[in-house]
Amino acid sequence: MVYRLPPAGFVPDSAKEDQAQRGPSPDVVVVSEPQLTEHSVSVSDATRSKQFWLMWTGFGFAITGRCVGLRQRVRHAAGSRMVVVCSYGIISCGKTLLSEAFTSTMPDVVTAGFSATFVAAMSAANLGGRVFWSNASDIIGRHMGGDPFKGRKLVYSLMWGIGPPLYLGLVWSIHQAAESPSLLPLGVFCGSVCLVLSSFGGAAATRPALTGDLFGTKNVGVLTARQLSVVLPAAYVLHIGGVRFGGSVAF
């Protein structure tokens, strides 16, 4: 895990352009250093702070909440089956989700090759989300007075805010494909899954920067690793919920 810092005396090009446009003025404060977190909170103090545990809890709820529940009545079979896929497990089970939802209704479109392409698209969406959302937080922060923390908060609000409508889109697409098969529900399904996975990657890639904004850059690696300790209890909670509802769970 690498957290890159600019060299001493570095000034962003945007700050230089703003200074050149405004010109010399006694009311203008010349910025000679980038706005970086100068303090560094020790690991012991950081793990005792409420900010650390609020982040820990937030990421835990994001993991348990980011699941796709697929309930499909299978013809020529008794009852129904629920597949609950949590977090990155959706990549390994994406082909199964797509096949069970659309193969029986659209066999000419959802072929083995289409399913393989869909799995590759999910991986690309996850990687693209890591690049897009992390850079978006920096760009938004520069346009909000140069405060990177404001950019991080807004980006996390967007990443986690798009989840509920995307999950509703998944449910709608599956039911719509069963009632009236067409390319529209298939496109909504594929697009929703890819956007959800982009938010997975964005949350993981932006977490070290958010930790650095709060606690300083000295112990970013240790604190981010301790934030990841929420994955196991969150996965266990989802597993208990999936088993209780009579479903199968994949992570």
Model confidence at 73, pLDDT cuts 50, 70, 90, reads: very low
User: Would 207 be classed as within a structural domain?
Assistant: yes
User: Would 1 be classed as within a structural domain?
Assistant: no
| 62 or 199: which leads in pLDDT | 199
Residue 20 pLDDT:
66
User: Would 27 be classed as within a structural domain?
Assistant: no
Whole-number Å distance between alpha carbons of 156 and 112: 35
pLDDT tens sequence across 174-189: 888 888 888 898 999 8
| 123 or 77: which leads in pLDDT | 123
User: Would 16 be classed as within a structural domain?
Assistant: no
Burial 181-209 (b: 16+ CB within 10 A, else e): beeebbebbbbbbbbbbbbbbbbbbbbbb
Q: Any idea what DSSP says for residue 217?
A: S
Q: What is the pTM of this model?
A: 0.70
Residue 132 pLDDT:
92
Residue 6 pLDDT:
65
Q: What percent of the chain has pLDDT over 90?
A: 5
Quote the domain boundaries for residue 156.
Answer: 39-250
Residue 31 pLDDT:
46
Q: Are 118 and 190 in contact (CB under 8 A)?
A: yes
User: Would 22 be classed as within a structural domain?
Assistant: no
State how many domains the chain has: 1
User: Would 34 be classed as within a structural domain?
Assistant: no
Q: Are 193 and 129 in contact (CB under 8 A)?
A: no
Residue 2 pLDDT:
56
Can you tell me the mean pLDDT for 156-184?
85
pLDDT tens sequence across 203-251: 888 888 888 888 888 888 889 888 888 877 776 766 555 545 444 444 4
Can you tell me the mean pLDDT for 151-160?
87
